[in-house]
Amino acid sequence: MRRIVIFGNSGSGKSTLARDYSGKYGLSHLDLDVLAWRDTDTPTRLPLGVSAAKIQGFLDNNEQWVVEGCYSDLLDLVLTQASEVIFLNPGEETCVRNCKLRPWEPHKYASPEEQNRNQDMLLDWVR
């Protein structure tokens, strides 16, 4: 049974690797970004309990999975159930470059313009 956790900085390649593993091994994929944040103009974190309930729902409904993210509080909720843990650390400059080149993520943002409005905040986060 495969249960993989991938973590690292924003722009480190977590989503790309998780998508690859999901396709290669038929794993359900959970990107912690989609349940860590409120849907507001100024991004703010959801309460931990709300995110934790969503994570538990995912785990309850999926036997094999890949979970990826950079939130230690959320990762703590899945690490004990993982069969593999992968840490990606390509360095700050690579992460910044990858974030600047990131294609539109429609599962996170309604439009490319909305995603681009958050880029400065993301780059500050990475640094």
Q: What is the pLDDT of residues 86-110, one digit of tens each?
A: 999 999 999 999 999 988 888 788 8
Instruction: List Cβ neighbours of 18 (8 Å cut-off, separation of 6 or more).
Output: 4, 6, 29, 31, 66, 67, 68
> 3-90 maps to which CATH number?
3.40.50.300
The mean per-residue pLDDT over the stretch 30-51 comes to: 89
In angstroms and rounded to an integer, the radius of gyration of the C-alpha atoms of the chain is: 14
What was the pLDDT predicted at 88?
98
Distance, CA of 63 to CA of 17 (rounded, Å): 19
Query: In the chain, where are the structural domains located?
Result: 3-90
Contact 31, 107 (CB under 8 A): yes
Q: pLDDT tens-digit profile of 3-34?
A: 999 999 999 999 999 999 999 999 999 999 98
Question: From CA 87, how far away is CA 62, in angstroms rounded?
Answer: 22
pTM of the model: 0.87
